[in-house]
Amino acid sequence: MCSSDDIKTVVFPVAGLGSRFLPATKIVAKELLPILDKPLIDYAVCEAKKAGIERFIFINSPNKQSITNYFKKNKNLESELKDKKSEHLELISKNLISENNLIEVIQDKPLGLGHAIWCARKYISGPFAVMLPDDLIISGVPCIKQLIKAYKNFKSNVVAIQEVDENNINKYGVIDYYKNESNTYHIKDMIEKPDKKNAPSNLAIIGRYILNPSIIKELSNHELGAGGEIQLTDAIKKLIINENVIGYKFEGNRFDCGNVIGALNAQLSIAMNDDKYKSQIKEIIKNLSKE
């Protein structure tokens, strides 16, 4: 039996248009674009599985259901690979999510991250994780597992944070805090995309969260924030009035795969640390540097 602070559910908001990757995303969901030899979304799901998460909720748009199909059985493909005794059969079996644990909720309109989380309300009864697949994080201990440990230690909402350059601070939600202990920061305020003059710190919120179900009540007000959207940051700010919210500076390397250069950086970095591709990538870079 699970205790009340076991985190077994994760919400993946994947309804975005992926406009930075057009025209590719006209036909292929951004989350299915490959980072080396598997799609971006697979990295996030693998991270969650390694942290003991069992139930996966995808907040999707009507046009991107290929994302959830990726995690379902493909009987025709499996049969063909089995007949050929292909080694690839094992590869496509690794990423499956059981039918009972895969939930898809359609977000009809892109009304913001907060609205996407609110769309999962029917399936939220206890603390849960939120993971933004654009943030690909490579670490010894999965990032979301680090946050789950912090949640259990402090019995508090937890958001992942990372130091960022002040010139990029206006791209993130930023925390203000009243004390910190090692990698843990006790948050007193959060500001969505401040300019660098008004930023209370250089600690930015990254796409990993552990939240109490009380966040759903705050999101139900449907208050519009930055960009005319329902912002998750605004709802978490309201939680701070009655609940503790912890910022946890995670250990690991994060790649912003929500843009082309960030995705390319992830491709090269992961390849350079993979024995299968390392020597070939080095040779390619060496040859390019001669031109």
**CATH number of the structural domain spanning residue 36:** 3.90.550.10
Mean pLDDT of 158-162: 97
| DSSP β-ladder status, 245-249 and 203-211 | unpaired
Domain presence at residue 120: yes
Q: What is the pLDDT of residue 198?
A: 87
Distance CA 99, CA 92 (A): 16
Tens of pLDDT, residue by residue over 232-274, are 999 999 999 889 999 999 999 999 999 999 999 999 999 999 8
Tens of pLDDT, residue by residue over 51-91, are 999 999 999 998 888 899 999 988 888 888 887 777 777 77
Check: CB of residue 203 under 8 Å from CB of residue 228: no
Token digits for 262? 């960030």
Q: What is the pLDDT of residue 153?
A: 93
Entry pTM: 0.91
Mean pLDDT of 24-53: 95
Domain residues for 238? 9-258
Domain presence at residue 281: no
Average pLDDT along the chain? 90
Mean pLDDT of 100-123: 93
Domain presence at residue 264: no
Predicted confidence (pLDDT) at residue 1 exceeds the cutoff of 50? no
Q: Phi and psi (nearest 5°) for 207?
A: -75, 55
Domain presence at residue 266: no
Domain presence at residue 17: yes
Domain presence at residue 26: yes
Domain presence at residue 290: no
Token digits for 202? 């250089």
């970095």: which residue's tokens?
269
Q: Which residue has the higher pLDDT, 9 or 275?
A: 9
Q: What is the pLDDT of residue 161?
A: 96
Predicted confidence (pLDDT) at residue 5 exceeds the cutoff of 80? no
Domain presence at residue 195: yes
Alpha helices in 52-186 (DSSP H): 66-69, 75-83, 88-94, 113-118, 143-154
Q: State the pLDDT confidence band at 2, using cuts at 50, 70 and 90.
A: very low
Alpha helices in 112-250 (DSSP H): 113-118, 143-154, 214-219, 232-239
Q: Which residue has the higher pLDDT, 181 or 113?
A: 113
Q: What is the pLDDT of residue 80?
A: 84
Mean pLDDT of 161-171: 91
Strand partners, 182: none
Q: What is the pLDDT of residue 291?
A: 64
Predicted confidence (pLDDT) at residue 48 exceeds the cutoff of 80? yes
For residue 31, the SS3 value is helix
Token digits for 182? 């090692």
- Domain count across the chain: 1
